[in-house]
Amino acid sequence: MNGDVTKIELQRFKPKPQRISEEIVVGKDILELLTGAMYVDPLNVYREYIQNAADGVDEARESKLPFDGPADVEIYINHLERSVCLRDYGASIPESEFVRRLTAIGASEKRGSNLRGFRGIGRLSGLGYCQELVFRGRRNDNAKVMELRWDARSLRERLRDRSFSGRLPDLIREIATVSELPQSDWPKRFFEVELQRVIRLRNDTLLNEEAIRKYLSQVAPVPFDPQFSFGAEIQAALSQHGIGAPLRIEINDGKGLIHHRACEQFPISNKLNDVFKSVEYWDIKGTDGQRAAFGWVLDHSYYGAIPKRLGLGGIRLRAGNIQVGDQSILASLFPETRFTEWAVGEIHVLNAKIVPNGRRDDFEPSMHYSTLQGELATRAKEIVQRVRARSEQRSRLHRVQGFFQQAEAWTAASKRARLHAVIRLAASEKAHKALQQASKHVQKLAPQSNDGRIARQKLNALESQLPSLSPSSTTKHPLNGAVVAAVHAILASEQVPEGTIELATRVLRAIRNS
Amino acid sequence: MPNKNILLIEPGYKNKYPPIGLMKLASYHGPYGKRDNVKFIKGESEKSVLNASWDRIYVTTLFSFEWREISKSIDFAIQAAYGDTRKVFVGGIAASLMNERFTAELRWRGVRIIKGLLAEAPAIALQLDDFAEELYSDDREGTPIEDLIPDYSILDQIKDQYLYPVRDAYFAYASRGCVRKCHFCGVPKLEGAQRDAQSITDVVNGIRERHGDKRDLMLMDNNVVASANYKNIIAEIRDLGFQKGAKLERLGKPSVKRRVDFNQGVDARILCKDPMYLREMSAICISPLRIAFDHIGVRKPYEAAIRIAHDVGLHNLSNYMLYNFHDSPTDLYERMRLNIDLNVELGIRIFSFPMRYQPTDRPDRSFVGENWHRYFLRSMQIILQASHGIVSGSPDFFNRAFGDSADEFENLLLRPHHFLFNRSWFEEHDGRPQFEQFAKEFKTLKSEDRSELVKLLSTTTPSKFHELEMQASHLPLKRILRHYLPMNKDEEAKIWEKMKKQAKKLPSDVESVPEDELVEDAGLAEAA
């Protein structure tokens, strides 16, 4: 039958896909998404504006535009007026492009360039947190100072207004206005964004100098604290690997420039401080043999998890020298997630094919990114091994110290004057036993470590002081084995001699008297 | 939106008058207002409020030097708000005078620190954000909270814990602000220029209707005699039942004499210009008449005003005496002395209440005026403590407490403190030889020695007086410094034990002064 039938390919009759001819509608609500839903933490607003400022400053540096101010970016908070202004002295925007560039949505000219922000949406992030968002700037001292205002209050009214049927561009025309500002003492070249009548969030985060400082010290491309002794070295290594000079950011809280979170020492608990002892560099190659990432990790004692409130812990990822995600971005790569925040470091992603996602809370999934993650996972494992080894070493040391103390105490007890020979012998035996135990653990301590060396010295010193075990005088006392056993039992009941010697003496006296 | 939970907090300091601001806020939120649930606490002892959910928390503040107590209350309020500082509002005098200092405190970020009166519509005065759709942020036209009838019922919520010395009174203002701008005073910063306030008749009637009759009328005007409306104000007071000799009859309670008290004092410089002022005043049951006597420079108008008061039959007088400002101990002594002399001459009774100046923007009481010394201030406190802060009007008691002359007064201020504390023991009983030895040595000191001595004593606290000997320039000083070493505690306790039997002799006139006439916070309990 097969031979008689002609095979018809049904596929041929399927209509060919056509381009859509209807008009595509982009409604007003898209603006709500871009201003309200994009960012998890309100402080991300600061990251978005710092990122734009960093691009502007880089551009100015590349074009060798002169600038000699003390800070590249100034953050000015006014509590009375509830406003915050971020001003940078970067390249700014030419007058002719001012409105076009600042009203475009999702059409950044930065894509494909070396600049960080490339989607053209971050600049609206403040709109969800204040009543008016204002941009001002000029390119040079001959240019006019332009101002673009976005009215968040009327944005909200339009969004709620069912009768407003305008599209996105109509909406923007309704809420944004542009004006030319009269010449007064504006800087020669600047760009600034001001959030006016900022809404109150918990702890007034957006106007909270401390919170902003802490956040930017983790996220922004700020310089290391001069007090941090590895700072200069790390900065040099970063420059060598093409990571640009840091951005000097100042807040008007009288505390000077914002510095990178890395610090000389840190409290691990209320009682315990730890210091960073050394720095190691991670140079990670990608599949194509090119460098995928470069970073640094600080070594410390790994006593425990670094308190979250310090904003210090975690190996963080950066792209364009701005953090992507948070302190636990590598959590899934650690064999146990709890160890994520024990380590302190920063990895700069250098492969242009590894791209931060729109929210900047992770990178877009790609083969390149997963290769990098694989590399990082093996290193994370090494860190966990280090944590474990340090911890083991510490508990061993702790035990050794315990045995040392016992040996010392029993040695001293065995040398007391007017002690019954049976007790003296038993105490000496205890001293020997404690030191034997100590010796066992000392051998397991890493021989080249400082702790190991000191322990060995102490062991030798204690050995030389040990009492002899010659049962010379016991024969004079015709006591039977049961009594000797009783004395041993009494002494065995405590790890240290306190009390037991007296008790044993009393028991022996009682036996003799009976 | 009734039934919101509102928490009102007054810090745990000691104060004389109930928190009128909080009482007005209670009125705004309470049964006559938004019908929310209002809870009032004083201090932080009532921990149960930490288990409730509050929609809004208000903290009032009073003296700026109570910074520590105030801080505790704000921290507590934030705790009660589960860290949501947006729900916490801080207002009142200290918050207004030290607004910047409060605002600079990072841990209070998000707390609204309100400066001045709540004299605008509630949502505006409380800085409520309608953009954020905060509770009652739409109340942009309502009656200002400042103008509401204070809610006395909240005071019952803490009556087992704290009773305000003044409570059976209508609290009102006939005027606000002041015509003057004295540098020592917070009023120009707090209230600004002089103006008339709402009608006291409305306030008194409002309180009476809601919370029953009150005995006294407490008018907290800063300078009522400067009001152009003064005569009408007095007429209103009379019409409200506070005429001269007025009594209040209340069901089931004994009949009581009523009192009107302009508790911030009245201005002698205006009173002396026209006897009309005090004649008007004598038509109401004013008690006491408080006339301020801030420095010896206003002696003439002050004295003139006292004489007019005497002429119109106002004999129960009391006055605030600022010290530790630009004055000196001699200046203060002369002012006190003048009152004694006037008492004797006119047969009246003027009590002086010395009030130590504190800058209005300082968080503690450590300020020392240019003509004072730390040591003198402490001595002054010890002397005042003995008579609850009042300077007796009786010449004998006065001479004993403050000396016969300004020099004598200064010598008293320079006396070792245990001699002042246990004065009769050292002057009249077994301690006498010891005191006489000191007095003998003290006499030999030249005036420059004395000024060196007080400077030395003012450099440190008594526990470190033993270190001063080394710093003294010559022998007689070194020797006398030994008398200043603080007494052994046990020894002092023994003295008290022995002196117990000696009845404490308070001048009878001082004993008769009711607690509510005392200086609100003379800082007598606090170490200088």
- Whether residue A153 and residue B131 make contact (CB cut-off 8 A), yes or no, is yes
Q: Is the dihedral of CA A360, A366, A372, A376 positive or negative?
A: positive
- Facing residue for B106 by CB, picked from A152, A199, A210: A210
| Coil, helix or strand at residue B40 | strand
- pLDDT of residue A2 exceeding 70: no
Torsion angle of the four alpha carbons B475, B481, B483, B484, in this order, in degrees rounded to the nearest 10: 180
Mean pLDDT of A322-348: 93
User: Phi and psi (nearest 5°) for B86?
Assistant: -60, -25
Yes or no, beta carbons of A201 and B131 under 8 Å apart: no
For residue range B28-41, list pLDDT tens digits in order.
999 999 999 999 99
Mutation target to probe the B interface, by most B beta carbons within 10 A, among A132, A204, A208, A215 is A204
Kindly report the length of chain A: 514
Please, what is the average pLDDT of chain B? 92
Among the listed residues A400, A397, A403, the one whose alpha carbon sits nearest the alpha carbon of residue A303:
A397
Q: Residue B342 has what pLDDT?
A: 93
Is-contact A278 A269, C-beta < 8 A?
no
Lowest mean pLDDT of A474-483, B168-177, B308-317, B418-427, name the range: A474-483
Contacts of B106 in chain A (CB under 8 A): 208-210
Rounded to an integer, the average pLDDT of A332-342 is: 90
Please give the pLDDT value at position B520: 67
Q: Which residues contact A140 (CB under 8 A, 6 or more apart)?
A: A188, A189
Q: What is the mean pLDDT of residues A463-468?
A: 84
Q: Tell me how far apart the alpha carbons of residues B183 and A194 are, in angstroms, rounded to a whole number.
A: 39
Burial A249-261 (b: 16+ CB within 10 A, else e): bbbebeeebbbbb
Report pLDDT for B411: 94
AA letter at B291: I
Confidence band, pLDDT 50/70/90 cuts, at residue A93: very high
Minimum CA–CA partner of A157 in chain B? B131
Mean of the pLDDT values across residues A83-96? 95
B351: confidence class by pLDDT, cuts 50, 70, 90: confident
Question: Between chains, do B103 and A197 touch, taking CB under 8 Å as contact?
Answer: no
Q: Is A111 on the interface with B (CB under 8 A)?
A: no
Say what percent of chain A tops pLDDT 70: 96
Task: Give the residue carrying structure tokens 């409730």.
Answer: B52
Residue contact A199–B84, C-beta within 8 A? no
Confidence of residue A487 (pLDDT cuts 50, 70, 90): confident
- Please tell me whether residue A458 adopts helix, strand or coil conformation: helix
d(CA B20, CA B330): 38
d(CA B131, CA A199): 8
Cβ separation of B110 and A203 shorter than 8 Å? yes
Nearest to A344 by CA among A437, A263, A419: A263
Name which of A78, A151, A203 to mutate to probe chain B: the one with the most chain B Cβ atoms within 10 A of its Cβ.
A203
Contact (CB<8Å) A199/B109: no
* pLDDT at B528 (0 to 100): 40
Residues B233-278 have pLDDT tens digits of 999 999 999 999 999 998 888 999 999 999 999 999 999 999 999 9
Highest mean pLDDT among A121-125, A391-395, B161-165: B161-165
Mean pLDDT of A217-228: 97
A297's CB contacts (< 8 A; 6+ apart) are A279, A280, A281, A282, A315, A343, A344, A345, A383
Report the gap between the CA of B85 and the closest CA in chain A (Å): 6
Q: How far apart are the CA of B55 and the nearest CA of chain A, in angstroms?
A: 14
Measured CA to CA, the distance from residue A191 to residue B232 in angstroms comes to 61
- B109–A203: do the CB atoms touch at under 8 Å? yes
The pLDDT of residue B527 is above 50: no
Q: Decide if B86 and A201 are in contact by the 8 Å CB cutoff.
A: yes
Q: Nearest CA to CA, how far is B144 from chain A (Å)?
A: 21
Give the gap in angstroms from C-alpha A293 to the nearest C-alpha of chain B. Answer: 38
Model confidence at A476: pLDDT above 60: no
Q: Is the Cβ pair B109, A131 closer than 8 Å?
A: no
- DSSP characters for A141-162? TTSPEEEEEEEHHHHHHHHH-T
- What pLDDT, in 10s, does the model give residues B363-414? 888 899 999 999 999 999 999 988 888 888 888 889 989 999 999 999 999 9
Establish if A211 touches chain B: CB-CB under 8 angstroms.
yes
Sign of the torsion formed by the C-alpha atoms of A194, A199, A202 and A203? positive
What is the pLDDT, as a whole number, of residue A481? 75
Locate A180 and state its tokens: 């030319």
Q: Determine the distance in angstroms separating the CA of A159 from the nearest CA of chain B, rounded to an integer.
A: 14
Q: What is the mean pLDDT of residues B194-206?
A: 93
Residue to mutate among B109, B129, B133, with most A CBs inside 10 A, is B109
Q: Which residue of B has its CA nearest to A77?
A: B104
Task: Kindly determine whether residue A79 and residue B83, on different chains, have CB atoms separated by under 8 Å.
Answer: no
Query: Å from B358 to nearest chain A CA?
Result: 27
Are the beta carbons of B131 and A131 separated by less than 8 Å? yes
Give the number of other CB atoms < 10 A from CB of residue B122: 25
**Chain segment A191-216, per-residue pLDDT in tens:** 999 999 999 998 899 999 999 999 99
- B131/A208 Cβ within 8 A: no
Quick one: closest CA in A to B128, which residue? A200
Q: State the average pLDDT for chain A.
A: 88
| Min distance A211 CA to chain B CA atoms (Å) | 9
CA-wise closest residue to A93 among A194, A193, A195, A189: A189
C-alpha distance across the termini of chain B, in Å? 50
Residue contact B131–A203, C-beta within 8 A = no
Q: Which of A131, A199, A203 sits opposite B85 (nearest CB)?
A: A203
- Nearest residue of B to residue A207 by CA position? B109
Q: Say which range, B3-7, B148-152, B393-397, B445-449, has the weakest mean pLDDT.
A: B393-397
Reply yes or no on whether the pLDDT at A482 is more than 80: no
Among B19-28, B278-287, B501-510, name the one with the lowest average pLDDT: B501-510
Among B110, B129, B131, whose Cβ lies nearest the Cβ of A202? Answer: B110
The answer to whether B447 and B456 have CB atoms below 8 angstroms apart is: no
The H-assigned helical ranges of B4-66 are 20-29
The CA distance from B215 to B259, in Å, is 7
Find, in chain A, the residue whose alpha carbon is nearest to that of B82. A202
What is the sign, positive or negative, of the torsion defined by CA atoms of A221, A223, A228, A229? positive
Count of Cβ atoms closer than 10 Å to residue A166 Cβ:
14
pLDDT at B510 over 80: no
Which chain B residues are Cβ-neighbours of A84 within 8 angstroms?
A: none
User: Are B478 and B469 within 8 A, CB to CB?
Assistant: yes
pLDDT at B298 > cutoff 60: yes
Provide the residue count of chain B: 528
> Residues A195, A49: contact at Cβ < 8 Å?
no
Backbone angles phi, psi at B486, to 5 degrees: -60, 150
Residue closest to B220 by CA, chosen among B18, B501, B59: B18
Across B212-249, b (16+ Cβ under 10 Å) vs e yields ebbbbbbbbbbbbbbbeebeebbebbbebebeeebebe
Beta carbons within 8 Å of B364's beta carbon, 6+ residues apart: B65, B67
Residue A246: name the closest of A111, A50, A48 by CA.
Answer: A50
Q: Where are the beta strands (DSSP E) in B36-156?
A: 37-42, 56-61, 88-92, 112-113
Contact B85 A204 (CB under 8 A): yes
Contact A209 B129 (CB under 8 A): no
Taking an 8 Å cut-off on Cβ atoms, the answer to whether A202 and B86 are in contact is yes
Output the pLDDT for position A132: 96
Q: In this model, does residue A512 exceed pLDDT 90?
A: no
Rounded CA separation A307/A300 (Å): 14
* Beta bridge partners of residue A61, listed in sequence order: none
Which of chain B's residues have a Cβ under 8 Å away from the Cβ of A203?
Answer: 83, 85, 109-110
Is cis: bond before B507, omega within 30 of 0?
Answer: no
Neighbouring-strand partners of residue A467: none
pLDDT at B397: 86
Tokens of B101: 């200092």
| Residue A168 identity (one-letter amino acid) | L
pTM above 0.90, yes or no: no
**Helix, strand, coil: what percent of chain B each, to 5?**
45, 15, 40
Of A79, A199, A208, the CB nearest to B132: A199
Tens of pLDDT, residue by residue over A428-456, are 888 899 999 898 888 888 777 777 888 88
Residue A63: CB atoms within 10 Å:
8
The SS3 call for residue A413 is: helix
Q: Do A202 and B85 touch (CB under 8 A)?
A: yes
B320-344 pLDDT, tens digit per residue, is 899 999 999 999 999 999 999 999 9
Residue A183 — very low, low, confident or very high, per pLDDT cuts 50/70/90? confident
Contact with chain B for residue A208, Cβ under 8 A: yes
CA distance B47 to B24: 24
CB of B240 closer than 8 Å to CB of B200: yes
What distance in Å separates residue A209's CA from the closest CA in chain B?
8
pLDDT band at A8; cut points 50, 70, 90? confident
